[in-house]
Chains A and B, each alone.
Chain A
Amino acid sequence: MDVRSQIAMVFHLDKCIGCHTCSIACKNIWTDRKGAEYMWWNNVETKPGTGYPTKWEDQDIYKGGWEKKNGKINLKGAGKRRGLVNIFYNPNLPVIDDYYEPFTYKYLDLIESPEGDDQPTARPVSLVTGKPIDIKMGPNWDDDLGGTPDYARNDPNMKNISPEEQEVMFQLEKMAFFYLPRICNHCLNPACVASCPSGAIYKRGEDGIVLINQQVCRAWRMCVTACPYKKSYYNWYTGKSEKCILCYPRIEAGLAPACMHSCVGRIRYLGVLLYDASKIEQAASVDEKDLVKSQLDIILDPFDENVIRAAKENGIADSTIHAAQFSPVYKFVKKWGLALPLHPEFRTLPMLFYVPPLLPVMATVKKVDNKEQSDKMHPAAKKWNDNWLYDTSTEELWGSLDQIRFPLKYIASLFSAGDEEMIKDKWKKLMAVRIHRRRVTVGDVSNEKAEEVLRDAGIDAETADAIYALTSLPKFEERFVIPAAHREQAIEMMDFTGDTKGDTGFGIKSQVKRGI
């Protein structure tokens, strides 16, 4: 057993209100710079939707992540052979148009235009060339299912969903969507690290944060291809790749990352997981249907005596072990089994887990025969062609999962590599918590029914209360259990003080000069 500690995360999707505060907090701190304007280390996507960069989940296009062949896993679009052969030109590199060309507006024109017959306008200009552009795409172009039907219908997760089911999803009055906030998953089997020819990317042993050393990155741009989540970005101006750093300067100081600190919906939880590093490769190499289980299996019980002993032998501080015992992530992921990794089939063992959204399930859709009715109507009205009944009545509210208006298949394609039972299991628990709490607070659910649902979901009332408390009422320090970084042991985590005597400030001190 090789115990390591990892700062892991849980995002509770039922709580996300899609406000993008997280994205803005991150942008303001880290990526509001030349060459990084287009980067959103944290972005919030509407699902169904094509996401950012467009269709990032479709690895037939982007060739990210690991693939299993002959029992062994290998990088799909990079790696030792492919990476070096393609080093002069990377055929799988997403280009700026796959994200969007960053732009601003000539606001000054509004004020300084000479008097004339027309209203002055602020024309959009590209932040790359400085020239006026026609904006073709922007961040969250398809927010809240906005834009043309092209967006949601081209969601790569729609692949396995039948045309009829899709039709239901996109009927105006039955439409459902949810938000998917994404940051770098700080994976246990990171494809970005494995793909970097110069070895610039590494995982920090102490907390598992994955970082790119800007001094060692040489713009071989393989990590951009390799990360299946497209969370490694190429800075076109500095000629270096960059990615989410999980606000490690904040974490080292005991503060929550900016996106989590600012989260309005309070959907984000952060805490330590202890895991067995000797089983990483094995866990990432199992069959697709077993991936989630094998990933959860290498996460260790922080209360187990043997685990604690092995952790101490590996230099893990008492404070870190303590944090692991109080970790909200451990509770959601292991203890309650409520959270799942995003796209486990990419085999990077992501350390950001999602509680799948129950919201779209809260109403049901039934197929009904409206023919008799519509025959009576004016021909123009028939265009409505409404053969579906959208039902939110209380009895049906907790109704059958098979009739939900959001296909189970869709959620399963996101969070469980297609395993619908696994999603059902989480949903049952989430529903059971609600029914149980409704019995407690409103009282219009019979004890019998509540007990039955709890039993069906496999949790007891106490657990349901605990889930409810951590979901709805958590205080700051319950959402973020951050262990001390023990900088005193490392002198200074960023720099070796001997090298930087006399320097002040933080971050990269040298500048690039480009452009003519």
Chain B
Amino acid sequence: MNYLDNFILIALPYLALAVFLIGTIYRYTNRKFQFSSLSSEFLEGRRLFYGSVPFHWGILFVFCGHLLAFAVPKAVLAWNSQPVRLLILEITGFIFAISMLVGLINLIIRRYTTARLKPVSNIMDLVVYILLLLQTIAGLWIAYNFRWGSSWFSTILTPYLYSIFKLQPDTSAVILLPWVVKLHIATAFIIIGIIPFSRLVHMLVLPLNYLWRPYQQVMWYWNRKKVRSSQTPWSLQRPKNT
């Protein structure tokens, strides 16, 4: 069992993070054309609503919850120090996770019962669906059976994750957790590892700069204030929209 634990809790995280980093950087620099959400709404635009919307809002909330417990564990613990607030946090998290599960199931059914989606589905989509499904169900299972996750995540998992990032993995506490939690950890890292090979890259290019860029974009191939001057042989300014 120890070998497996070591693999899941030490080797797999490093492997996944390395693959993720190298893979996404390579794909972003060399295969930029393949960065896309691969929307299939054009081919099936009705049932997608019942899948994509609950799924994405669900995962966004749940993901941010995990991120908070990772980034500011003390704040989460302080918030949880009052039972009412703990309950509020846990119940909202659970609801969003259910929404994510429902959405995911709808997405899976939609994709495999719509003839038009077959030509735009690949093996990687299936892998992503299975992993996400596994991850969501495991997460819900943990939230229901091993309460209260938001608190013990902050005390057990956050130090463990920190130790991973500090390159001094310390598994003494996590190793005692039930196997479902370990499964949840393992799947999380596998999902991180497959990001560069799947459509999941789309979440890395969330277009937030849209919020502050001007609506209209005009691009010149040369510096127009200088191009007519004989001092400028040609422009070395490169167009910015790449």
A→B interface (CB under 8 Å): 4, 80, 83-84, 88-91, 93-96, 128-131, 189-190, 193-194, 196-206, 213-221, 224, 234, 236-240, 277, 280, 312-317, 488-491, 493, 496, 508, 510, 512-516
Against A, the Cβ 8 Å flags (1 = close, 0 = not) of B227-240 are 11000001100110
How many residues of B are in contact with the other chain, CB < 8 A?
A: 57
Residues of B within 8 A of A88 (CB): 52-53, 55-57
B116 touches A96 (CB 8 A): yes
Within the complex, which residue of B37, B42, B216, B223 is in contact with A189, where a contact is CB–CB below 8 Å?
A: B216
User: CA of A489 to CA of B227 in the docked complex: distance in angstroms?
Assistant: 7
A493 touches B210 (CB 8 A): no
A516 touches B123 (CB 8 A): yes
A202 touches B218 (CB 8 A): yes
B33 touches A218 (CB 8 A): no
B210 touches A83 (CB 8 A): yes
User: CA of A220 to CA of B36 in the docked complex: distance in angstroms?
Assistant: 8
A489 touches B235 (CB 8 A): yes
Closest CB-CB distance, B112 to chain A, in whole Å? 10
Decide: A194 near B226, CB < 8 A? Known: A218-B202, A218-B207: no
B216 touches A193 (CB 8 A): yes
Task: List 25 A-B pairs, Cβ < 8 Å.
Answer: A84-B210, A88-B52, A88-B56, A89-B41, A89-B48, A93-B45, A95-B44, A95-B45, A193-B216, A199-B207, A204-B221, A206-B222, A213-B241, A216-B241, A218-B202, A236-B40, A239-B39, A239-B120, A489-B227, A490-B234, A491-B235, A493-B221, A510-B31, A515-B122, A516-B122
Closest CB-CB distance, B104 to chain A, in whole Å? 13
Main DSSP-derived SS at the B contact region: loop
Main DSSP-derived SS at the A contact region: loop
Decide: A219 near B52, CB < 8 A? Known: A129-B116, A513-B122: no
Residues of B within 8 A of A194 (CB): 215-216
Residues of A within 8 A of B130 (CB): none
Minimum CB distance partner of B238 in chain A: A496
B33 touches A96 (CB 8 A): no
Residues of A within 8 A of B241 (CB): 199-200, 202, 213, 216
User: CA of A9 to CA of B203 in the docked complex: distance in angstroms?
Assistant: 40
Asked if B35 is an interface residue, CB under 8 A from chain A, the answer is: yes
B217 touches A516 (CB 8 A): no
Minimum CB distance partner of B220 in chain A: A205
Decide: A80 near B211, CB < 8 A? Known: A128-B116, A199-B217, A204-B219: yes
The winner among A80, A193, A215, A239 for most chain B CB atoms within 10 A is A239
Minimum CB distance partner of A216 in chain B: B241
B228 touches A315 (CB 8 A): yes
A219 touches B119 (CB 8 A): no
Decide: A240 near B36, CB < 8 A? Known: A130-B119, A490-B235: yes
